[in-house]
Amino acid sequence: MADPVFLLLLAAKMAATAAVVVAASLIAERAGPLIGGLVASLPVAAGPAYVLLALDHDAGFIAAATVTSLAVNAATGLLCVGYAFAAQRLPFAAAWAVALAAWTCGVVVVREFSWSLAGALAVNAATYGLGIPLLHRFTHVRMPAIARRWFDVPLRAALVAALVGAVVLAGSHGGPQFTGILAVFPVVLLSLILILHPRIGGKATAAVIANTMSGLIGFGLCVLTLHLAAVPLGAPAALVLALAVAVVANTAIFFLRRGLAARRRA
């Protein structure tokens, strides 16, 4: 019989992730791709995943898993790059497949190595140092007007919750490396593409995903914080601190990007 606490936290993770994906999609449609992308990069899926892990494992296991998670964050950057380019020309199904394939290829490479913290940081610096300038051309797209239907939000939430549940159950038993990979499986980004591309088109969705690249730097800092703080502070305090770092980092990125845009217009 399943642990009631596990089921409760799983339900909370599914609900929280679905809420953020739906919110990010609605924000992107109404407020533009920058804000939508930054909201999508918050650790709403990885955070509850690590809460579930903290119930069954000690702080050392959490710290070990985060090194792999940090390396996989670079694979998520590859997902953004692959999708942003594919969405300019390909239909939804093909572009979504390219995004998943790019992430999978990155993870295959990650699994071939035993990662140190320095190595994981270096591969993130290379991926985002090259990827963000490469995707800059796709970041500014006007969101098209959309006719909304009554079932849009419930359908979005149900799709995301189902995907989250499948990922968490698949990764409920595994070592630090496998757990670290599934903890940062890009369920939010893949769900966001699933929701937005058929509604607003590939180029507008690519703008949201391209803007997510900046936010994923904040996510990387969040994972780094959890790694450094898990053992000395304990998992609960480290998780709270990591979330705070993600929120502060994305807020700073938003104001920085907005300031740079204002200077360009001036």
Closest CA to 141 of 212, 208, 216: 208
Give, for all 266 residues of the chain, the pLDDT tens digit: 456 766 676 676 677 667 766 776 677 667 677 787 787 788 876 776 777 777 777 888 888 888 988 999 999 999 999 999 999 999 999 999 999 999 999 999 988 888 899 999 999 999 999 999 999 889 887 776 665 555 556 666 676 666 666 655 655 555 556 666 766 778 778 888 888 888 888 899 999 999 999 889 999 999 999 999 988 898 889 888 998 999 899 899 888 887 776 677 66
Instruction: State how far the Cα of 153 lies from the Cα of 134, in Å rounded to an integer.
Output: 33
Contact 163, 190 (CB under 8 A): yes
Contact yes or no for 80/60 (Cβ under 8 A):
no
DSSP state letter for 175: -
Residues 6+ apart with CB under 8 A from 187: 17, 45, 160, 163, 164, 167
Task: Count the domains in the chain.
Answer: 1
Q: b/e map of 51-85 (b: 16 or more CB within 10 Å)?
A: ebbbeebebebbbbbbbbbbbbbbbbbbbbbbbbb
Structure confidence at residue 163 (pLDDT): 60
Question: CA-to-CA distance for 228 and 66, rounded, in angstroms?
Answer: 9
From residue 252, how far is each of 136, 141, 164, 257 by CA, in Å? Answer: 18, 22, 28, 9
Taking residue 260's Cβ as centre, other Cβ atoms within 10 Å add up to 10
Given a contact cutoff of 8 angstroms between Cβ atoms, the answer to whether 139 and 36 are in contact is no
**What distance, in Å, lies between the first and last C-alpha atoms of the chain?**
63
- Alpha carbons within 13 angstroms on the beta-carbon side of residue 255 total 5
CA distances from 130 to 125, 219, 240 (A): 8, 17, 30
Q: Which range of residues forms the domain containing residue 50?
A: 4-265
Among residues 192, 168, 191, which one has the least CA distance to residue 181? 168
